[in-house]
Structure 1
Amino acid sequence: MTLPDLTYITAPMVDQSDAPFRMLTRRYGATLAYTQMLDPDKLIDDREYLQVHLRDIQAYNASGSDAAYARPIVVQLCGNDPEVVVKAARQVQTHCDGIDLNLGCPQEHAREGHFGGYLLGKKDWPLVQSIVSAMSHSLLVPTSTKIRLCPSSTPTATTATFGGLLEHAGASWVTLHARHVSAKRRRQGAADLDAVRALKEVLSIPVISNGNVHTFEDVRTNLEYTQADGAMVGESLLGNPMLFSGGDVPDPVHISLEYLGICKQLPDIAHLKTVQTHVRRFVEFQCSRRPWYPKFRAAINDCHNIHEIDALLRRKVNRWRGKAAKPLGDEGDEVEELSDKEEVETRDNTEHAYIYE
């Protein structure tokens, strides 16, 4: 099977891996994007759940200009039953370029359901092998796994051994988020890049490094140190979806409007709450210390649709930042600086919260 380009990967993130966001990161350097983790039982038994996620997986810009950014895509599944996981994967395999088994989810519901990162203990290794083997022998697309450090007194060596079992079972690549599973603290401590390097040394299939990335320079440093075949980034892309491009951090209003533009072209794909969270994170990444930021958080939570978010960004947020309001519907226009008279008016109207970015 032909593997997708694994160099720069947008990670699976709960309620934040919607098609518009995936396509935004693909515009700016991501070579591959994952969906959020999907529940195999629901894909099989809940027709509405299946249709919602199929629409997301199949979404693309009807104009064709962004069609190239919709793929490649990997669908991530969880689960602990080989038959169920394979049956669910078959529902989506013709619309994606790979199926990933989540072996890293640290959340409490994963512990309760006995999946994700709670399958990393040695007692569950035979079960995991059977799932991966069933996937690799039954599906039309490559099978991958996303793992964390195995629980052990020697986690680096144990994780490398586990990785070898995954390769033998038929995994086409392995992504290692080199932290231990912790339901209370998802990113407890720094990721152990030595464990990624050790895994790379023993596997013949590609290894992807996940963790310790805030900038594109971190990506370069990570790959140079670990010798991994690619880097997966999640949290940092939520603030800067242009991270993989290696350029400057984008203007928060401009990148928010670009994201909203994709949402408008792909209506009813991303839920309003998802859109609000993305835009809030874009703005928060650079402006969380601005005096007006609490007002922005309250205002975006009060928005009832994408057009209200658009107007909030173009009018209030730009004026709070000391910029001229942008005309509605003109994503491409540059933001103009305020005149001296407008600067004074903005200071007065925002209770002296006027700050240039």
Structure 2
Amino acid sequence: MAYNQKTLDGYRQRLLSPAAGGDAPSYTPYSCTTCPYCSGQEPPAYKHLHPSTKPRSPLDFYRHVLVEKYRRVQPPHARANLTRRYATDGAASPPKLLACGPMVDQSELPFRLLCRYYGAGLTYTPMLHAALFARDEHYRQQFLQQTPLALVRQRLAAAAATTQVADEKAAVIDRPVIVQFCANSPETLLAAARLAVHGEAVPHPTAAGADDGGGERYYHCDAVDLNLGCPQGIARRGRYGSFLMDVSWDLLHTMVHTLAVELAVPVTAKIRLFDAPITEQRRQALAEENHHTVDGRQLHYLYTFQGQSYQYDVPLSIAYARMLRDAGAALLCVHGRARQQKGQLSGLAELEVINRIREAFEEDERRQCQCAAAEAGGGVPLTCYTCKNIPILSNGNVLSFADIARLFDPSPARHPAGGDDATPFVKVEGHMCAEPLLWDPTLFSDPAVVIPSGRLPADDEGAAEGGDGAAPSRALFERERAIRLKAFETAFDYLYYVKLSNAQYYEYLYKPKQRTLLVHAKDSNKEKNENDPLDSSEAITVTSRKEQNNFYGISLGFVKAHLFKIFFHNCVLFPSLREFLAEFNSKEEREKEEASSDPDGKGKQHKNSIEYCQQQLDALTEELKAFYEMDLQLTHEAYVQLKREQESHKKNKHRVQQEGGEENKNGAAGFDIFEEEDGIGLGIF
């Protein structure tokens, strides 16, 4: 995925002139002639400024909106993380936020609530397609689930009245939350963002915005994020995400600047780093230079991917971040990898480049303060945020809670010489984690049982403990079972939040819509027109019944995708669990169930009704409880026999492959204690 080097060379020549007396590039502010706010076609002053929703300073946005505004309604683990201090924190440093990142079809509302319950202080929605979101109401209802605004206000009012919470688990709300879009049109992005901020029924304000009647204002989200980091093929085909990095910085600047001026909440952006391929000879020369630095910091940041050597382009990455900041981004999340570094073998992120961006922002802030001091009495126009050192979230290199401590603590004890633990600490306001949360949504709670990522190579600890063919030890058995049982507990928590989200959507959003339709029918006093199907109470009632078929509960496809990840280690030992999840609620199974329970079809529930959705979740929960009980009763002896049987299947599979025969598609899954009822399966419980 090579960059358009001709375009990037133009930006290098335009923005990276040599600084006097040094090798570091000087900073030339990005000038966008096509942006209507920069060219004077539109007033550049920011609209809808308010200290509780869109403060003048990005640092105030971070401190008040993202940290303090909802602190009193955060669950215990999240509150604990907000009070945690690190060695790099100064007396005035704001708390560090741990964020659940945006994941397509994965960071939906129940999963965000689950991560919040276990310590996330900030969440992002899945990446939404701005064009689809702006024009399709069904797309909006299906793919953007949010805690209802009325419920947010209720929770805040209750928290202000008392410090006692009867049920912390049920009281979790998804705030603060950032809605993420992919887009390549400023107008389309603004239309979609306004819908995300103000909802379906509330027109966007023309002045200050919707006031809650007091000092605080509340919208349906707290910021809108522009995805400039997605490296997937669909982003290349759709011309969005990281594939805008080398297309047109004018377009990126205009999209961010448009939201910064027009939107009632701040705009943020998620980005990746630039890089360039180098020869192996060049890599060796640069690596040698890194060994001769005076201050111990690298001069060059190198990596190898799929056999090719690369160098991170630090100056261009800094210029890119500055351009987005100056366009109006109130916060940047920087993924410490380049565009092509995706998938399982992407390697470690280069977090030191994020530090270089931070240092550049700090220098810009110092320079601006010096200029402001020189202008005695000179006012600063509100054409852009006056703060140059905006908040940054890092992204990458976290697989456990211990990794977070290493990121934020520069002490030698945290960073022994050599190895992956030598990763430098990052000078940022917080850290975003995405895929590792899919394997263990409790990661931010500093859990006692650490769930290994499914991306890591399989641990062959059993063989290592006692040699080839030795039985896995009881200690290994207990460790693995603790991981599996925790996965069940996490899955039950997740299903709880799926049901809770469905119930809240039904109570706060769906039912009021039905009542509105009926009230409009009953209160109509005008003379009825029999030719108008909507001009009668009966017709409106029929419409409301039809609307019941459009109850958008949490998609079972999303639910099953999460369960496959959460149960990854369970399914390795017990493939029947994987098969159950794959088959649950299949079309054939559903039709068979409906035919047997209601042969005449008189009482059949629509598959999108609240009753149907909740009953399916109840059935899924009960089935998983049965698997949980069987795993709970598994003995060490049965575990040893099971592992030996699976190892035998692996060897047979390998032998068949070597002989050129048909591959045993089940592989190690050929033996499963949950399925064997005539042998080992009955003698262990």
1:186 Cα deviation (Å)? 7.1
2:559 is equivalent to residue 279 of structure 1: no
- Counterparts of 1:111-122 in structure 2, within 5 Å, are 111-121=236-246
Larger gyration radius, structure 1 or structure 2: 2
CA distance in 1, matches of 2:584, 2:318: 48
Other-structure match for 2:175 = 71
User: For residues 126 and 186 of structure 1, do their structure 2 counterparts lie closer, same or farther at Cα, with a shift above 3 Å needed?
Assistant: farther
**Which is further off, 180-189 or 88-97?**
180-189
The residue matched to 1:134 in structure 2 has which SS?
helix
CA distance in 2, matches of 1:164, 1:13: 26
Specify the code of the residue in structure 1 equivalent to 2:331: W
CA distance in 1, matches of 2:342, 2:429: 30
Out of 400, 403, 408, the position equivalent to 1:223 is: 408
1:126 Cα deviation (Å)? 1.7
- Counterparts of 1:12-31 in structure 2, within 5 Å, are 12-31=102-121
Specify the code of the residue in structure 2 equivalent to 1:49: Y
1:353 Cα deviation (Å)? 6.8
Out of 498, 501, 504, the position equivalent to 1:266 is: 501
1:187 Cα deviation (Å)? 6.1
Other-structure match for 2:396 = 211
CA distance in 2, matches of 1:157, 1:129: 18
Task: Tell me, yes or no, if the aligned pair for 1:107 and 1:183 is still in contact at 8 Å.
Answer: no
The residue matched to 1:257 in structure 2 has which SS?
helix
Deviations 1:139-159 (A, max 9, x none): 111110000112445422211
CA distance in 1, matches of 2:559, 2:187: 35
CA distance in 2, matches of 1:110, 1:127: 16
Task: Tell me, yes or no, if the aligned pair for 2:571 and 2:578 is still in contact at 8 Å.
Answer: no
Deviations 1:295-341 (A, max 9, x none): 11001112123223212210024304426xxxxxxxxxxxxx9xx9x
2:192 is equivalent to residue 102 of structure 1: no
Out of 130, 133, 142, the position equivalent to 1:40 is: 130
User: For residues 114 and 351 of structure 1, do their structure 2 counterparts lie closer, same or farther at Cα, with a shift above 3 Å needed?
Assistant: farther
2:195 is equivalent to residue 91 of structure 1: yes
Other-structure match for 1:331 = none
- Counterparts of 1:177-326 in structure 2, within 5 Å, are 177-182=335-340, 185=343, 188-203=346-361, 204-224=389-409, 225-249=425-449, 251-267=486-502, 268-284=552-568, 286-290=569-573, 292=574, 294-304=575-585, 305-322=616-633
CA distance in 2, matches of 1:347, 1:303: 17
The residue matched to 2:173 in structure 1 has which SS?
helix
The residue matched to 1:36 in structure 2 has which SS?
coil
Deviations 1:101-132 (A, max 9, x none): 000011112111211001112x5212111111
CA-based RMSD: 2.8
TM-score by length of 2: 0.46
Deviations 1:56-94 (A, max 9, x none): 123599796545432111000011111111111001113
1:253 Cα deviation (Å)? 0.9
Other-structure match for 1:10 = 100
Out of 341, 349, 353, the position equivalent to 2:677 is: 349
CA distance in 2, matches of 1:148, 1:69: 30
CA distance in 2, matches of 1:350, 1:159: 63
The number of aligned residues is: 332
The percent identity for this pair of structures is 30
User: For residues 39 and 349 of structure 1, do their structure 2 counterparts lie closer, same or farther at Cα, with a shift above 3 Å needed?
Assistant: same
CA distance in 2, matches of 1:302, 1:39: 30
The residue matched to 1:118 in structure 2 has which SS?
helix
The residue matched to 1:253 in structure 2 has which SS?
helix
Out of 175, 191, 194, the position equivalent to 2:333 is: 175
Specify the code of the residue in structure 2 equivalent to 1:316: F
1:228 Cα deviation (Å)? 1.4
Deviations 1:9-68 (A, max 9, x none): 0010111111010001001110010000001111111121123345x1235997965454
Deviations 1:230-276 (A, max 9, x none): 01001111111111111223711111111111111222542101111
Other-structure match for 1:165 = 323
Out of 140, 143, 147, the position equivalent to 1:50 is: 140
CA distance in 2, matches of 1:172, 1:261: 34
CA distance in 2, matches of 1:149, 1:186: 18
TM-score by length of 1: 0.85
